[in-house]
């Protein structure tokens, strides 16, 4: 075999080996991309499942909260308003009793007037809880301002409120969630946190609306599951989700609570 033939055979061998090497590399790359893609798809599916589960949890919390609110309203209607109206009805029938003295008529009439006034006051309070008239007519700023005045009037807590945002009254439906979040936070600060001072401020940063909330209460351990899973906290998270916002909570025992959420 001459030198040319040997050289040709070596070239052919090199070409074959190179081709086989490229095939193996291509196969390895294909397998790598296949399994990588499969893993990415699996991760995406798991992520989507977690998101669906989270949305289901939030929806469940909303339904539970709504059911609790309905029960409270039904209880108020039955135990308070309905019972007083029954007494008004009975007193009204008493007025038809023959031979009543002027003193008896005056006493019965006074009872009717007093009870009717209480029913009217309670029905207004119930309507205010469902949808604050000030919020509906004048927007979020006016609604929160009135809410702060109500808490301040209790003398149990001092609320400081600042607003640096012009709210669009046409977005009241969305802003109602913000109002309810603050209502829940303030109730928690007063009832559970034993707070004497609350601070609320609205600020605009990077084209997003932010609410900064803090109190000087006893605080809580945010890592405890019972604090994370409380009905109030789930309700707040569900409202934040509806607002396409996010919330950051910082609290320590005896160091109060600081909360920032955007909407």
pLDDT attached to residue 59: 65
Identify the band that residue 32 occupies on the pLDDT scale cut at 50, 70 and 90.
Answer: confident
Domain ranges of the chain: 3-128, 131-262
Q: What would the pLDDT profile of 51-73 be if each residue is shown by its tens digit?
A: 777 666 766 666 666 667 677 77
Burial 78-98 (b: 16+ CB within 10 A, else e): eebbeebeeebeebeebeeee
Identify the band that residue 226 occupies on the pLDDT scale cut at 50, 70 and 90.
Answer: low
Is-contact 141 167, C-beta < 8 A?
yes
Identify the band that residue 142 occupies on the pLDDT scale cut at 50, 70 and 90.
Answer: very high
**Comparison of pLDDT for 43 and 2, the residue scoring more:** 43
Burial 199-225 (b: 16+ CB within 10 A, else e): bbbbeeeeeebbbebbbbbbbbeeeee
Q: What is the mean pLDDT of the chain?
A: 84
- The proportion of the chain whose per-residue pLDDT surpasses 70, expressed as a percent, equals 87
Cβ neighbours for 97, distance < 8 A, ≥ 6 positions apart? none
Residue 216: how many CA atoms within 13 Å on its side-chain side? 9
pLDDT attached to residue 27: 84
Is-contact 158 197, C-beta < 8 A?
yes
- The proportion of the chain whose per-residue pLDDT surpasses 90, expressed as a percent, equals 34
Name the fold adopted by 131-262: Heat Shock Protein 90 (3.30.565)
How far is it, in rounded angstroms, from Cα 61 to Cα 237?
Answer: 9
pLDDT at residue 234 greater than cutoff 90: no
Q: What would the pLDDT profile of 183-212 be if each residue is shown by its tens digit?
A: 999 999 998 889 999 999 999 998 899 999
Average pLDDT, integer, range 212-226: 84
How far is it, in rounded angstroms, from Cα 140 to Cα 134?
Answer: 8
pLDDT attached to residue 65: 65
Identify the band that residue 99 occupies on the pLDDT scale cut at 50, 70 and 90.
Answer: confident
């Amino acid at each position: 075999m001459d030198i040319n033939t040997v050289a040709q055979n070596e070239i052919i061998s090199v070409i074959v080996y190179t081709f086989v090497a490229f095939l193996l590399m291509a196969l390895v790359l294909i397998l790598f991309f296949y399994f990588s893609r499969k893993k990415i798809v699996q991760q995406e599916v798991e992520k989507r499942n977690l998101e669906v589960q989270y949305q289901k949890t939030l929806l469940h919390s909303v339904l539970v909260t709504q059911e609790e609110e309905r029960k409270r309203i039904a209880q108020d209607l039955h135990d308070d308003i309905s019972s007083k109206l029954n007494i008004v009805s009975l007193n009204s029938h008493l007025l038809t009793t023959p031979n009543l003295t002027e003193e008896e008529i005056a006493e019965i009439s006074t009872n009717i007037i007093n009870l009717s006034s209480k029913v009217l006051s309670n029905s207004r309070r119930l309507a205010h809880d469902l949808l604050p008239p000030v919020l509906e007519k004048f927007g979020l700023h006016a609604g929160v301002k009135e809410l702060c005045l109500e808490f301040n009037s209790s003398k149990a807590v001092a609320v400081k409120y600042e607003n640096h945002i012009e709210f669009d009254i046409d977005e009241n439906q969305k802003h109602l969630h913000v109002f309810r979040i603050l209502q829940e936070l303030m109730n928690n600060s007063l009832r559970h946190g034993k707070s004497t001072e609350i601070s609320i401020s609205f600020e605009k940063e990077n084209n997003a609306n932010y609410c900064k909330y803090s109190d000087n209460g006893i605080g809580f351990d945010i890592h405890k599951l019972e604090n994370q899973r409380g009905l109030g906290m789930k309700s707040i998270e569900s409202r934040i989700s509806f607002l396409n916002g996010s919330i950051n909570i910082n609290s320590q025992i005896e160091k109060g609570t600081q909360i920032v959420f955007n909407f």
